[in-house]
Copies of this chain bind each other. A is one copy, B any other.
Amino acid sequence: MADSQNPPSLLVAEEEGGGGKGLPSKKAAKKEALKAEKAMRRQQEEAAAAAAASLSLEADPLAGNYGDTPLADLQSKEVSGRRWTEIQLLVEELKDEEVLIRGRAQTIRAVGKNMAFVVLRRMGFTVQCVVTAAPELVSRQMVKFAAGLSRESIVDVQGIVTVPGVPIKGASQQVEVQVRKIYCISRAAPNLPINIEDAARSEKEIEEAKLAGETLVSVGQDTRLNYRVLDIRTPANQGIFRIQSQVGNMFRQFLLAENFIEIHTPKLIAGSSEGGSAVFKLEYKGQPACLAQSPQLHKQISICGDFGRVFEIGPVFRAEDSYTHRHLCEFAGLDVEMEINEHYFEVMDIVDRLFVSMFDSLNEQCKKELDAIANQYPFKPLKYLRKTLKLTFQEGVQMLKEAGIEVDPLGDLNTESERKLGQLVLEKFDTEFYMLHRYPLAVRPFYTMPCYEDPTYSNSFDVFIRGEEIISGAQRVHVPEFLTARAEACGIDVKTISTYVDSFRYGAPPHGGFGVGLERVVMLFLALNNIRKTSLYPRDPTRLAP
């Protein structure tokens, strides 16, 4: 901890070397410790008082079996050897066994004074816990305590597993727990800004209720994001971010198996960059700097540095004022760069096999998550071929033309044409995942390799899911003199890219690569309507919190 890398402060203070500086001097330690102790005691007394008040203070010989756990008992007091059972593991085989479980009180319902039901939730699984007053076992005060829990509080329950004769509707697990002891570990504020039930409701349910004359609460996207800590507890959101984790994992495992290595390149880049408004600028120790809009430069240097095949997963920053359903100011970029022997098809082949195997794995290994998501946001499984369809840009333009849509054959496709082409491809080839290659050179970055036989076109490709672009890739120009010529032809001041061009002067293998937006892949695989649904804490031009 004697580490000057320590951030002095709070939230931003991370673990490695965290702490120390900025805090009171060592001499103040004792004083501070006393203060802390006082604060804790006050805390505990308040909790005890609140608990007592809520229970109308009748003397209860069974009082030790329930209550708010004092903070002191949650401060790593002991390693007791107790075992908590995961809620998802509560099954009929455990009948009559005593279990200890921890979860959130999702719903609480009292039935008279002698019975209460508490549905506990953990990681998207729920179980019904039953508190029934019984002599020498469960007091009415305990029933009252359970009934008085606030929703979303964290609760420890000790009890006996039973199997009711009828199916349980309000919980995922088909057993109940007959409560013997119940303790509140952490009490949630009584008024939640979002009810999980409301946040978990599908549009369909709201519509159907409306037809029946009822009004159900619908939680808007912005409210969700403002209270993300509650919003992400819904089964759909639990599913979405488990899928996201899996996509990243599949991406890496596939590439590692193909002899790629993972690299980490700097996000702090010298210069203010040509990008202008699209770039976040900052001062770096007195020098102008900006945040990387992609690892393009560094992944190419890595190839020229003989790593052969590299990939990176890291944040990408775009300062543009885009207020669409699919743009973010910060997102997770999946980037790949590799030597090629002779053709950019080698890169497209990696994309093909990587994504087909990823889709396969998601469908096979994430069934539960996919179901949870589909419950709230219904979608049809993605249609894709065993061998991914490749069309040239010219073929795409021709298909559009035949469907009565004229596009500039040397221009770019706009979002609408891309969607339309997606539809046409689906009708003709029965796939929602395909690659379009050989784009006009003029619509690609200057470092894109032109086509051999017609430099109006380029050795480049885009990849689409459900009519929306998720990947862009190409063979790069690896010859420094030609790269300079291309930059000049594109009106770029060559002085500003000298580091880049110089990387190719010491022998540069032919190479290519591509970039993917993680949030987009997840959004489009799941046919979600907004990229904010697949970004854990999204950043857009108007959102910088939480």
Contacts and interface: CB of A to CB of B under 8 A. Distances in A.
Nearest to A1: B412
A475 interface: yes
Nearest to A450: B36
Interface in A269-306: 269-270, 273-276, 278-285, 287, 289-298, 301-302, 304-306
Interface stretch (A15-23, A164-172, A206-214, A352-360): A15-23
Contact of A154 (B1, B500, B508): B508
Contacts of A153: 507
Contact of A506 (B26, B188, B319, B542): B188
A257 to B, nearest CB: 11
B104 A306 contact: yes
A507 B22 contact: no
Interface string A333-344: 101000011111
Contact of A342 (B26, B79, B324): B79
B270 A76 contact: no
Interface in A411-462: 411-415, 417-418, 439-453, 455-456, 459, 462
A490 B23 contact: yes
Contacts of A377: none
Contact of A229 (B121, B301, B324, B491): B301
A7 B267 contact: no
Contact of A544 (B262, B289, B340, B518): B289
A486 interface: yes
A305 B233 contact: yes
A22 B513 CA distance: 21
A456 B33 contact: yes
Given A26-B410, A490-B24, A268 B229 contact: no
A137 interface: no
Given A23-B442, A443-B19, A482 B79 contact: no
Contacts of A20: 412, 443-444
A11 interface: yes
A152 B508 CA distance: 9
A413 to B, nearest CB: 5
A78 B408 CA distance: 27
A20 to B, nearest CB: 5
A26 B397 CA distance: 15
Contact of A11 (B297, B417, B442): B297
Contacts of A140: none
Interface string A312-323: 011111111110
Interface residues of A, number: 218
Interface in A143-171: 150, 152-154
A412 B1 CA distance: 6
A497 interface: yes
A8 B46 CA distance: 59
B185 A509 contact: yes
Nearest to A105: B507
Contacts of A478: 74, 186
B285 A262 contact: no
A77 interface: yes
Contacts of A123: 306-308
Nearest to A496: B10
A199 to B, nearest CB: 12
Interface string A471-494: 111110011011001110111100
16 contacts: A1-B469, A9-B492, A10-B487, A15-B513, A19-B448, A23-B443, A26-B443, A32-B441, A75-B452, A154-B509, A228-B305, A232-B307, A238-B306, A241-B307, A284-B544, A315-B315
6 A-B pairs with least C-beta separation: A14-B294, A15-B515, A29-B442, A39-B485, A9-B274, A188-B507
Given A39-B486, A229-B503, 13 more contacts: A10-B446, A14-B294, A19-B448, A23-B444, A33-B442, A33-B455, A71-B482, A74-B478, A77-B452, A188-B505, A230-B305, A233-B305, A285-B319
